[in-house]
Amino acid sequence: MKLACSGESLPEQNMHSYICADSELAGNENVFSALKRGIECILFYDAKAKTNVMNDYGFPKTYLIKGAPGCGKTTAIKSAVKHGREFSARIGKTIFVTNIGNKFKSEYYSKSAQELRKTFNAFFSGSQINIGIIEDIDTVFSRRNDLMNAEDSANLGEALNLLEGVETVNLGNYIVIATTNNSLDTALEQRLGECILEAKGPETLEHYEKILKINLNGTAKFVPDMRKAAYIAMQKKLSGRDVKNICKTLASEIICLDANPEIYSLSMAKQKQFLESGFAKISDERIMGIIEEYEKQKTFKNG
Ligand SMILES: Nc1ncnc2c1ncn2[C@@H]1O[C@H](COP(=O)(O)OP(=O)(O)OP(=O)(O)O)[C@@H](O)[C@H]1O
Ligand SMILES: [Mg+2]
């Protein structure tokens, strides 16, 4: 097909057939696909001309991911950024990722807000394609209250001002992605909420099976019935992090440690060979027991 005015030929419209094939994410597809789209939008940016065709149509510049602890918010961002990096490499562009965490908080009073502005000014300059990530934003910017100290108040105020700039078309080229487990300052939430995404974590049998397989890795074949294990995890509504932690205990029980002290001075390859020769299947009852012990420990309270 030819463009009428320029004579440039248009490529086939097959961009969206590209998916992150080896994503380690189970569930949270809504989060992944929204972030993927956002990243694909900023990739249109022409840093020399400082223009992005997508600004003519509009797309969310801020993304707020909400969800329970360990449901996979960070994992969803990692998968989307991984997709973005792979895709940008294919089209010869580079994405810069900046983590805006508590690091910007300076030990010198009143310098923190300045540090924050520096980070955003780099985005606003429009010299590159940027993704700003603010993980657990509720721990970075406090909610306004009477007990708020002057520095926290200055940081929140600066963040609100800077995020207002995000809405300005042609002021740089970036998206800001934030995550939280808790409610935020209302004004902050409004500025970050151009696209609010609920991360539900793993929900289906397939999701749980995927997390189990990823985390059991070399020991997966020693779990007699993976589907059954996934079913138990699903019924108990375990988070992705819970499943990951349980997998660590499971794996360590599959590996039969021998008290033979000579093993400890062998090469790693030999140690692996020795350990793997002793791998034994773990019973369904033991898997259930490990899950129950884990849940008990999680709810254990001192005192
Ligand atoms: N949906 C998921 N798919 C795959 N793995 C997951 C998922 N959720 C959690 N995990 C596993 O649990 C670990 C912790 O998850 P992650 O850090 O993404 O959760 P989070 O929602 O960001 O937690 P937090 O609220 O504590 O920041 C990950 O390293 C990953 O291995
Ligand atoms: Mg996280």
DSSP string for residues in the chain: -B-TTT-PBPPPS-GGG---TT----S-HHHHHHHHHHHHHHTT-BTTTTB-GGGGT---SEEEEE--TTSSHHHHHHHHHHHHHHHHHHTT--EEEEE-SGGG--SSTTHHHHHHHHHHHHHHTTSSEEEEEETTHHHHSPPP-TT--HHHHHHHHHHHHHHHHHTSTTS--EEEEEEESS---HHHHHHHTTEEEE-----SHHHHHHHHHHHHGGGGGGSS-HHHHHHHHHHTT--HHHHHHHHHHHHHHHS-----GGGGGS-HHHHHHHHHHT-----HHHHHHHHHHHHHHHH----
pLDDT at 266: 92
Predicted confidence pLDDT, tens digits, the chain (303 residues): 444 455 566 655 554 444 455 688 999 999 999 999 999 999 999 988 888 999 889 899 999 999 999 999 999 999 999 999 999 999 999 999 999 887 777 666 678 888 888 888 888 888 899 999 999 998 888 887 766 788 888 888 888 888 887 666 667 889 999 999 988 888 899 889 899 999 999 999 999 999 999 999 888 888 888 899 999 999 999 999 999 999 999 888 887 776 688 889 999 999 888 888 888 888 888 888 999 999 888 877 665
Q: Which ligand sits closest to the CA of 28?
A: 1
pLDDT at 283: 87
> In one letter, which amino acid is 181?
N
Which atom of ligand 1 is least distant from the CA of 78?
A: 18
- Nearest CA to 230 out of 254, 203, 251 is that of 203
CA 187 to chain centre: 24
pLDDT at 49: 87
pLDDT at 25: 92
CB-CB contact of 144 with 171 (8 Å)? no
pLDDT at 158: 85
Number of CB atoms found within 10 A of residue 167's CB: 11
CB-CB contact of 55 with 188 (8 Å)? no
Give the distance (Å) from ligand 1 centre to CA of residue 180.
13
Give the distance (Å) from ligand 1 centre to CA of residue 181.
12
Number of CB atoms found within 10 A of residue 265's CB: 8
Q: Which ligand sits closest to the CA of 27?
A: 1
Q: pTM value?
A: 0.88
Q: Which ligand sits closest to the CA of 208?
A: 1
pLDDT at 1: 44
Give the distance (Å) from ligand 1 centre to CA of residue 75.
5
pLDDT at 277: 84
**Ligand 1: residues whose CB is within 6 Å?**
24-28, 67, 69-75, 136, 181, 201-202, 211, 240-241, 244
Which atom of ligand 1 is least distant from the CA of 75?
A: 18
Pocket residue to mutate for ligand 1, from 71, 136, 210, most atoms within 8 A of Cβ: 71
Pocket residue to mutate for ligand 1, from 20, 75, 180, most atoms within 8 A of Cβ: 75
Which atom of ligand 1 is least distant from the CA of 136?
A: 27
User: What phi and psi values does residue 191 have, to the nearest 5 degrees?
Assistant: -70, -30
Q: Which ligand sits closest to the CA of 242?
A: 1
* DSSP character at residue 13: S
pLDDT at 13: 52
Which atom of ligand 1 is least distant from the CA of 210?
A: 4
